[in-house]
A and B are shown apart, each in its own frame.
Chain A
Amino acid sequence: MIVILLLIPLSIIIAVGFLTAFIWAVRSGQYEDTCTPSMRLLLEEKRHLDATAVAESEPSLPIQNVKEQ
């Protein structure tokens, strides 16, 4: 029964890990727009093929997550 003393803190740590991940996801704006990423997903693969063709014009600017300041 004493093993529960180990299991409970472990389970809480894991759960808190997921909660943190969730909060990070919300804060980084992933819940702002739940529609466009699903469309982008379908495009991703082809975009790579395309990128090789026009490799020299890759974006020169850092890719940043667009979010409010």
Chain B
Amino acid sequence: MALPHTDQLHRFSEIETIPLGNERNIANTPCIHCGSLCHTGMFALADKSFCCRGCLTVFEILTANGLTEFYTLSESAGVRVTTTAKDDHFKFLDEPAVRERLVDYSDARLTRVTFHIPSIHCIACVWLLENLFHLKPGIGQTQVNFPRKEVALSFDSTQVKLSEVVTLLASLGYEPELKLSALDSKPRSRVSRRLWIQLGLAGFAFGNIMLFSISDYLGLDAFAGPWFQRMVGAISFTLSLPVVIYSAADYWRAAWTSAWQRILNIDVPIAAGVAAIFLQSCYEVIAGIGNGYFDSLCGLIFFLLCGKLFQQKTYDRLAFDRDYKSFFPLSVTRRAGRAGSPLPAARDRQGDGAHGVTRPTTVDEEQVSLSQLDVGDRLIIRNGELIPADAKLVSGPALIDYSFVTGESEPVGKAADDYLYAGGRQMGGAIEVEMIKNVSQSYLTSLWNQDAFQKEKAELLNQITNNYSQRFTKLVIIVALGAAVFWTFVNPALALKAFASVLIVACPCALALAAPFALGTAQRVLARRNIFLKNPYVIETLAAVDSVVFDKTGTLTAAGAGSVTWVGVPAISLAPRFSPVSGGDIRGKPFQRLVGRAKEETVETVSNSRHTDNSRLKPGVNETDASNPSDLSESEERWLFSMTRHSMHPLPVRIGEAIKHNYFPEPVRSFLETPGCGMEGSVAGHEIWMGSAAWLESRGAWRAAVSAAACRSNEGSGTFDDGTQTDALGTGTGALQGSAVHVALDGKYRGSYLLTSALRPETERLVSGLNGRCEVALLSGDNEKERGRFVEMFEAEAQLNFNQSPLDKLTFIKHRQEAGKTVMMVGDGLNDAGALRQADVGVAVVENVSAFSPASDVIMAASMVTQIAEVLRYAKQSLRVVRTAFWISAAYNMVGVAIAASGKLSPVVCAILMPVSSVTVVAFACGAAAWFGRRAFKVEAQP
């Protein structure tokens, strides 16, 4: 790491290690840097404690550079540094091809680049990033765009390299998002700037013309003489000219296009109205009759543009049009020589500093960008990295998490020569793979060659307004012509004026404003609840939805958040046990039971909060435990906890999370993990085996207890290595399914940890809320092991499809649409991308709103999934608000048209009627939409 104060990094050896006796004090101290609780308590500097080495490093860097103010700006401001990137991790950024496409501007000296940094979250981040120049000479000004989470920085390319800048950012915890899509050109629209100027111009003209026209309104012209009136007319004309030409330009263009396509949308009557007002006013000014309606004209355009600005609210930090390129990294590690020796099984656990941070860099590895990869290349995929293309496993124990690609909830183990699909994430040690297909032609990415991605989704923008405006326009033209014909016979002098007046008054300003403001408000209401719509008109489609299709993994079940339950066996001879004094009253709380009474109070809150979600769903678990006297003692549990900390496998990691309490890990000796079997090691002199049943059995630890276990839980052979085989624990209330990790202590089988993937709380309420109102279906890429759980929940005729490929999902949606349904797809992974795109409304569910989500119409925080029924109801209510607003505007128009048709329209009447009608409609639309919003989501605020 080439930081200015590199010596800071070598001081880890001097870190005071807190003696073991103090562990409890440390355990509850928040990290000074990032605020997460310091469970390990290993890192401390003076009186400050840190959760990990990364946080400590950042603290030291900032202190050494006089940037300690960072910590005064907001509480626990820092970002936890989770990646410990190697120095050359970002080397590929200096390749001209990559660099050229990333930077915004570059000359001999100055380079400017904009990064998207998802971890920006508070004022201190802004401060630190804008003071980045203190940390490294050569870095110039940095400017943060907080809502977009972007940093624009300039640096002297003769002093620092791009890769060094990124390394610096990453070392502080602000690793820029460097994804494949960044290499494509970034189109930055200037639409919003243009709209602001149009709006400013219209407002300027509107206000000034009104000021000059006051004399006209009040009839003061007579005192000033005719020259004054002419002057005001000329000024008004001059001021409104740029408004008509520039501010209203979009309406002219839209009206022209739709007239050309013979579609009567809202733009046509608007353009006709504007033209009528302008021409009539010009005629009046030139003929010297009056000052015309320039004030109303500019006001009209001003209000229309306001509506446009309101509906253009976008959520900058969200992207609704991402494809796989945003998911794949920019670069991978390639082996320089095609046929190299297999990798040494290098394992490291990142983040907590339990193991060595730096790994020796082998000479024959290089970082290359994905575009340079070719079939036959050997790639090295490390823990947590993605496989960028379909490939064959060459060496290393592969454990691939396909949850994002296929929806399978648990990782699968692979052996050498197995086929690996692109998009899988390696868990555990580094593996070496050989590419079989190119990045764009792999199993997953070829989904993007489907029809659904080829054609643009039919934009059903503003359908409701256009439906009404068609009827409206026809009516207005009839009334205008009728008035003209009538006055031709009665008083020909008034005929033209009446015709123009009707068009002026009936200009559907209020009509055009109703939908943008009502739907725009609804969009904001939903956004406040972490449901983000691509644009306000998605609500129209939402209101029409009559078929809801769910994905399972990550959507209905929360990823990685399930219950972990200890199921013990009444062993014949037990190791020292925790005395069951309080066993009776705290029965049914599996973890609390295991904890010493001294700690009971603190732990109670922890274990309760952990179990609120799960206990409601699985009443059966607790009963099982109640009948089971064989607990683990506190120290035994601590040994197991120490073991789990050494594994990267998701099951032990989850167990470790569940049982960590305030434990301080003990050293584990002779630790050995056998992929597909389990792990062994010795803690405090006790031999511990954790793994699959078959593995334990092969070591003789299983047989003794198998009969006891079988009589209570008709147990299958749960495996440790993958989730394809599962335990079925028959309980009184229904099948509970999941994976199990079996435990043997000193060669004696003690029981197993049972892990289930948890349904989101209230899923049942969600499905029953939708049942009957619309068709509900479930599509899952996972296997059928959990079918039973869903059959009960869904209606009898609901379709529950398992083992669905991404293409199957897309086809399913298409069939529903062909059956005449408006389909809403709720999914999360790349495997749902096709279905999300095909569906009328694609809803992407994300745990973290700024994280990756596939292309969709709606991005929804995972916690809101259970409120989909409410969202649908609210969409319907919002449309009702729009319709009511239409009627209000129609009432105004009727009054106006009546005056106009009688030929008595004066600029004053027009100048009053027009803004009043607009303002009432806007106020009603916003107010009603917000009111419904508050009511719709208040009802279910209490669970």
Contact = CB atoms under 8 A, between A and B. Distances in A.
Contacts of A4: 224, 228
Given A4-B228, A36-B126, A61 B156 contact: yes
A35 interface: yes
A18 B190 CA distance: 22
A1 B220 CA distance: 12
Nearest to A19: B204
B200 A19 contact: yes
A54 interface: yes
A64 B142 CA distance: 10
A41 B144 CA distance: 13
Contact of A60 (B65, B104, B105, B137): B137
Contacts of B279: none
Q: Is the interface of A mostly helix, strand, loop or mixed?
A: helix
B196 A36 contact: no
Contacts of A26: 193, 196-197, 200
Nearest to A15: B208
Contacts of B130: 40, 43
Interface in A2-34: 4, 8, 11-12, 15, 18-19, 22-23, 26-27, 29, 31-33
> Chain A interface: which size bin?
35 or more
B629 interface: no
Given A8-B235, A68-B190, 7 more contacts: A15-B208, A19-B200, A32-B145, A33-B145, A50-B67, A57-B137, A60-B138
A54 B193 contact: no
A19 B203 CA distance: 10
B134 interface: yes
B126 A60 contact: no
Given A22-B200, A33-B148, A66-B143, A61 B110 contact: yes
Contacts of A29: 193
A66 B152 contact: yes
Contact of B141 (A18, A54, A59): A59
Contact of A54 (B65, B200, B211): B65
Contacts of B152: 66
Given A31-B193, A53-B66, A43 B123 contact: yes
Contacts of B139: 59
Nearest to B204: A19
16 contacts: A8-B235, A29-B193, A31-B193, A31-B196, A32-B192, A33-B146, A33-B147, A39-B146, A40-B126, A43-B126, A50-B69, A57-B133, A60-B137, A61-B156, A63-B140, A68-B190
B231 interface: yes
Contacts of B66: 50, 53-54
B208 A36 contact: no
Contacts of A39: 123, 126, 146
B208 A60 contact: no
Contacts of A61: 110, 140-141, 154-156
A8 B123 CA distance: 47
A15 B192 CA distance: 23
A8 B231 contact: yes
A68 to B, nearest CB: 6
Contacts of A36: 126, 143-147
Contact of B188 (A33, A43, A68): A68
Contacts of A53: 66
Interface string B169-206: 00000000000000000001010110011001100100
Given A43-B73, A53-B66, A61-B155, A12 B235 contact: yes
A51 to B, nearest CB: 9
Contacts of A22: 197, 200, 204
B33 interface: no
A35 B147 contact: yes
Given A54-B134, A57-B137, A1 B110 contact: no
B212 interface: yes
B932 interface: no
A32 B123 CA distance: 18
B193 A69 contact: no
Contacts of A18: 204
Given A33-B147, A57-B134, A23 B197 contact: yes
B131 A47 contact: yes
Contact of B140 (A40, A54, A59): A59
Contacts of B134: 54, 57
A65 B87 CA distance: 31
Contacts of A66: 112, 114, 141, 143, 152, 154
Contacts of A62: 110, 140
A36 B148 CA distance: 10
B127 interface: yes
Interface string B31-64: 0000000000000000000000000000000000
A19 B201 contact: yes
A42 B114 CA distance: 24
Nearest to B4: A57
A63 B153 CA distance: 10
B228 A64 contact: no
Contacts of B228: 1, 4
A68 B804 CA distance: 45
Contacts of B140: 59-63
B831 to A, nearest CB: 35
Contacts of A59: 133, 139-141
A54 B192 CA distance: 39
Nearest to B224: A1
Nearest to A53: B66
Nearest to B109: A61
A46 to B, nearest CB: 6
A31 B137 CA distance: 31
A58 B201 contact: no
A32 B228 CA distance: 42
Nearest to B194: A26
A2 B404 CA distance: 78
A58 B140 CA distance: 9
A47 B197 CA distance: 33
A63 B141 contact: yes
A15 B204 contact: yes
B806 to A, nearest CB: 37
Given A23-B197, A57-B137, A8 B212 contact: yes
